[in-house]
Amino acid sequence: MKTSAVTMLLSASLLLCGCQERLTTAQREPSFVITHQKTGRQAYDAAEVWIAQSFVSAKAVIEVRQPDNGLLIGNGSTEVEIRPAQFMAPAMVEQYRYSLKIANSDHSTVLSYEIEDRAYNTEAAVQILPGLRQASRKLAEALSGTVTAEHVQEFTPSK
């Protein structure tokens, strides 16, 4: 009896998880274009300071530094509260990883992300996106510029 109940519970969980939509590449890779009056090197330096101020440890975040090309590549993470599809299941907090790329040139910076792909819970992308937007605005402030374009495909999970 216990075995069949466990099997039914696992089957229901897999069925509910399997019904989740996967994110498209465009949904997992939002990017923001920031225009400013800085040179590529000045923008690079400002972006490096922004990373140092935005993350607990810039050394742990930055993977690639190419000041001559204006490029910074790193990895970050954020906590997301997940509400499982199964009724009566408690909410849980999970760590979601993302990579970020900051490409600086004269008068323009592109901040792009790639959110970790977890097929079983696309709801997290909806929760992560506002934080990424806020981060792009903070970088724009650090560059004394403005976000002039968002390449973001919104995602609304089906219920």
For residue 19, the tally of other CB atoms under 10 A from its CB is: 9
Is there a domain that residue 90 lies in?
Answer: yes
pLDDT at 87: 64
Report pLDDT digits (tens) over 76-87.
888 887 766 666
Is there a domain that residue 18 lies in?
Answer: yes
Write down the pTM of the prediction. 0.77
Domain that holds residue 32: 2-151
CATH number for position 20: 3.30.530
Q: Residue 20 — very low, low, confident or very high, per pLDDT cuts 50/70/90?
A: low
Is there a domain that residue 43 lies in?
Answer: yes
Helix (H) or strand (E) holding 62: strand 62-66
Is there a domain that residue 156 lies in?
Answer: no
**pLDDT score of 128 more than 60:** yes
